[in-house]
Amino acid sequence: MKEFYMRLPRDGYETILFMGIVSIISVNIIAPLISMLETGFSVHNYLMTLTIIPLMWVAVVIIVFLAQKPATVLKDHLVNQNDSFRAQITVDILCHVVIVSALMTIVGTWIGQRQVSLAPFYTYFNNWPRNFGIALAIEGLLAQPIARQVLFIKHLHTKKWR
């Protein structure tokens, strides 16, 4: 139970720190990977992707904030309050990634193409499963574990000074 508390944000500052770490890692890996799967792997395509990352990051942060409530409600329907920390976190990540990837499949295409069009809707069911899988892997295996470890270390150091 103590480990559970040590790996979660405790206040607004820690929530922003957590979200910042997760979003920066995610956007810098997921956006180039998905873009290059669409356009081909080359240095030119990678450099073009780097130009959209700041706007993509803003969109991700906004969508994550908007998805917070629906993802939490969905998670609460799927897990019991007495389930383990790992079960709670795994289902929470899954619910967030489902909602955020569903929206970012559309918004990300608009940002990447630098225009709002109906194109993402025509290819949605081809692209979303791939985008979901990539996002789930990066979030579940890399971004969130790193952010939770940073919070754990911060809490250990904070505890020593109290």
Residue ranges of domains in the chain: 2-161
Whole-Å CA distances, 7 to 86, 139, 149, 152: 11, 15, 7, 5
Which of residues 60 and 2 earns the better pLDDT score? Answer: 60
Q: Any idea how long the chain is?
A: 162
| 49-108 residue pLDDT tens | 888 999 999 999 999 889 989 999 999 999 888 888 788 888 988 999 999 999 999 999
DSSP string, 25-91: HHHHHHHHHHHHHHH-S-HHHHHHHHHHHHHHHHHHHHHHHHHHHHHHHHHHHHS-TTS-HHHHHHH
Range of lowest pLDDT (37-46, 109-118, 131-140): 37-46
Q: Tokens 């998905």 label which residue? A: 34
Segment 39-55 mean pLDDT = 88
Phi, psi angle pair for 145, to nearest 5°: -60, -40
Tell me which of 111 and 3 has the higher pLDDT. 111
pTM: 0.83
